[in-house]
Each structure stands twice: as C-alpha cells, then as structure tokens.
Amino acid sequence: MKVNNLLLYTTQNRILPHFKSQPDTPSNQEAIEIRISETGTKYAKVDIFDKPHRFILNEEITPENLRNMIENIEKTMTGYFIRQNRHEYFIPHVLKKVPNISNYQYLIENGNTATELNKESEDALKIIEAHAKETLDIKDLKTIKYLRKTIDGYANNTIEKAFGYLDKINNDLYLYIPKNNRMQILTNDYFVKNIRL
C-alpha cells in the first residue's frame, strides 16, 4: 500500500484524492482524505490495512509525513521467514519497536536489511569491537531497522538503525543501539548485560 503517487485536488473546503495512472500502482491502494471537523480542525482520514484511522494535522503531522508513516507501518507488517534449527521466525522489514536482545535474538543474528558501509556503521563496528575485544569485519555486522515513535501511536514515526554481531567462537551476541547510546550483550549462558555508553 504505497501512497506516494497521491495527488490532491481541492474542491470547496474538501480535498479529494486522485491517483496517477501507472502500470505498477496496485488497484487496492488506499487514499488519504483531508477533512475539516465542525470545530475547524483539519484531520486526515485513511484506511490502513482496511482499518480506518484519523490523524489531526498540524505543522508536525502533514500529509507527506502520513505517507511516510503508512509506508513504515506496511514495512513493520511485511517481511520474510527464516528457519533456525526446528523453528521458523518472521523477520519484518522494519521492527515495530526498539529491539531487545533477549526477545529478538534471531533478528539480531540475521539482520533485516543490508549493512551499508558508512560512518554510522563504522562507528558501531568500533564500539562493538571494543566490547568484544577482537577485530571484526564489517560484513559480520548485522543492521536492524526499527520504528521509533516520537509521539504515541504511529504518527510522525521515523526509522532508526541498530547493529548486531554474533561472536560464533564464544557464542556471545552483541546489540548496539546508537539512538539510545546503549549496548546489550547476551552471553552464552543467557545472561544479558546492559551497558549505557
């Protein structure tokens, strides 16, 4: 459900949604309707996965932010499955909340997006190397995208990254969350260390 192709046309205090006709646009795409309440408050009405939602519009929550928000929500509900031993785990394209090493061990071991070579990943690699006390390769670093909600609900959410590393020799798992400046380590005896940096 992408709503990037949305064009808005104004007609008498109401904005009606229309879509560009493109061959790759799904026909079941939902539209954002901008409405004005009796009190004069502008709000957006949109169906997300066939459930109606209303969002009050202001300078922070705009139709463009809502489009990004809906895309982010879709990514939290879509993903792929991986098999580990006899278990099958669902890995979303974007995790709904900040990862926790004890709840999302399988996700941290595999990551949910490709690791890009940039300053953020290099800094994360240095921090994990310092705690693992060994030299690591950037290809062993796993990137986990998660949703950070700046306010309650899904409105105005942003995608953040966390970084994980599995030490296969010692069977330790490391998770570094740059936004919180926090490190979690899951040892081979299932003890979790939380470190504020």
For the chain, which residues make up each domain, given as ranges? 6-76, 79-196
The phi, psi pair for 5, rounded to 5°, reads -85, 15
Distance (Å, whole) CA 166 – CA 188: 11
Position 15 pLDDT exceeds 60: no
Q: What is the mean pLDDT of the chain?
A: 80
Query: Which of 47-56, 74-83, 119-128 is modeled with the greatest confidence?
Result: 119-128
What is the residue-wise DSSP string for 128-176? Answer: HHHHHTS---GGG-EEEEEEEESSSSSTTEEEEEEEEEEETTTTEEEEE
Q: What DSSP state is assigned to residue 191? A: -
pLDDT top residue among 75 and 155: 75
Sign of the Cα torsion 14, 153, 105, 173 reads positive
Position 3 pLDDT exceeds 60: no
Q: Which of 11-15, 72-76, 162-166 has the lowest mean pLDDT?
A: 11-15
Sheet holding 157-167, edge to edge: 142-149, 157-167, 172-177, 182-186, 192-196
pLDDT at 17: 39
pLDDT at 155: 54
pLDDT at 32: 83
In DSSP terms, 175 is beta-bridged to 164, 184
Neighbours of 190 (CB within 10 A): 8
Cα 5-161-143 angle, rounded to 5 deg: 105
**What confidence tier does 56 reach under pLDDT thresholds 50, 70, 90?**
confident
Q: What DSSP state is assigned to residue 70? A: H
How many alpha carbons fall within 13 Å on the CB side of residue 78?
Answer: 9
Position 25 pLDDT exceeds 80: no
Distance (Å, whole) CA 94 – CA 162: 11
Q: What are 97-150's pLDDT values in tens digits?
A: 899 998 999 999 999 999 999 999 999 999 999 999 888 889 999 999 998 876
